[in-house]
Structure 1
């Protein structure tokens, strides 16, 4: 190892060569190995030692079921390296995935627009540079203007991707809905192709865990929309046009459905990720 290279993790796992020199290997099988991940490379140690510089990874994905062997494993990461595709799974796989995201993203610069949307209202924020740091809990962004923007991975609601011109270049823009000071905001991220694919996989995985399919009445959805727009829970009855008792009953149901969380006993509530997702879907219908 060089003086600047640092070990991130050393664990046990398996790998499967799904594509070699452009050819899909339908008879490939998992090989038990030791996995060593550093700030510069991924090393797989089995009967032979295989090393892959992180700079050689073109794309990281979440599934590539080349055969039944690969389909039978629920969690693995897919590494696209030129015309080769490698699947890797670790004993503590979620922890390994986070370590891989850290290796790929920590200290890297990305373009950030924050807040692009706040309380459902489009803002005039411009694009600025941000330095990334990945933790178990969040994607931390240190912006050039001094702002610190944490995107909690358990707090990601809606997530979308679009190709746009940013700073004179066509880039993939990742639009992430989360909260800031209990208000729903969107932060937009744009980077090079590799950083965009890593962020997409990491954030999609987090958003998928938070997805909700709630059967709500029109009044319940109006309550959620009021909270999403920044209306105080105390002002919801007059804003929506319902009684205080009816509002309390709806709050009880939404708490039970985990669409809102209780902040003070039966008086103050805030939307959860599930609730914000419902609101986001409703906004999209309008």
Structure 2
């Protein structure tokens, strides 16, 4: 390995050459190999050795189901290298993809606006440079002003994109909704240069899918979640969605189980007993 190069992963795996020189390979099949990933290259060792410098990779992520051999596999990562397309898979696919994204992103500098939005209110914060570190659980950002921002990869609620001028250049912006250290809904806006945009998009899309995979909300449940997010009181929800209180309480219980909402304070519902009515009557009679 070259000076400063570190090995991130060395494991068995498979690759499928899905396209060469812009031409799809219809009869492509998976080849067993050893995958060695470093901070500078991907090495595939089978009957022959292929070396792919990370700087040659133009795009990462997204499915490329060139045939049934590819379509029949649940998870793989797609590499676009000029006019070639390579699919890779490993026994621990999520860990492999995290290591691959780390190889591209770790310790690079991107642009960050945090918090861009807090509690639904635009904050007017300035763009700053931030150093990136990726873990299995989070995207960690060390911002130039001393902030340390953590975006949990299981905590990405939504990602919108926009085009804006940052540092004198028109850039693609990712508006990432998540929660901060005090469990408040915030948006962190991030962007980068060249290859960074491709990798950030793949990581953020995967984070959104992690959340979607765990949820199957009904239209009423979706309406309730959006109402709570925009500040409607939980006590006003029955009138807001025109549902019975008991039905809303059952929905709240389900949303709590799904970790979509949490209980802050229990409200005790009471009614008078016969003894209570007697006490009240005596009290009223004494006035």
Q: Does the C-alpha gap of structure 1 residues 230 and 19 become closer, same or farther in structure 2, counting only changes over 3 Å?
A: same
Aligned to 1:7: 7
Distance in 2 separating the partners of 1:62 and 1:99: 17
Match of 1:214 among 198, 202, 217: 217
Are residues 1:45 and 2:38 paired?
A: no
Distance in 2 separating the partners of 1:251 and 1:187: 28
Aligned to 2:260: 259
Structure with the higher strand share, 1 or 2: 1
Deviation readout 1:9-55 (Å, 9 max, x if unpaired): 10111001111122211111111000000011000000001001111
Are residues 1:225 and 2:227 paired?
A: yes
1:41–1:52 Cα contact (<8 Å) kept: yes
Q: Which aligned pairs between 1:172-183 and structure 2 lie closer than 5 A?
A: 172-180=172-180, 181-183=182-184
Give the superposition deviation at 1:138. Answer: 0.2
Aligned to 1:278: none
Aligned to 2:58: 58
Q: Which aligned pairs between 1:96-245 and structure 2 lie closer than 5 A?
A: 96-180=96-180, 181-211=182-212, 212-215=215-218, 217=220, 221=223, 225-226=227-228, 228=229, 236-237=234-235
In structure 2, the residue corresponding to 1:104 is in which secondary structure? Answer: helix
1:223–1:240 Cα contact (<8 Å) kept: no
Q: Cα RMSD (Å) of the superposition?
A: 2.4
Give the superposition deviation at 1:62. Answer: 2.5
Max radius of gyration: which structure? 2
2:224–2:237 Cα contact (<8 Å) kept: no
Aligned to 1:75: 75
Give the superposition deviation at 1:255. Answer: 1.4
Give the superposition deviation at 1:163. Answer: 2.5
5+ long unaligned stretches in structure 1: 268-286
Q: Does the C-alpha gap of structure 1 residues 224 and 89 become closer, same or farther in structure 2, counting only changes over 3 Å?
A: same
Q: Does the C-alpha gap of structure 1 residues 251 and 6 become closer, same or farther in structure 2, counting only changes over 3 Å?
A: same
Per the normalisation by structure 2, the TM-score is 0.82
Give the superposition deviation at 1:254. Answer: 2.9
Q: Point out the more displaced range, 203-212 or 99-108.
A: 203-212
Distance in 2 separating the partners of 1:23 and 1:223: 46
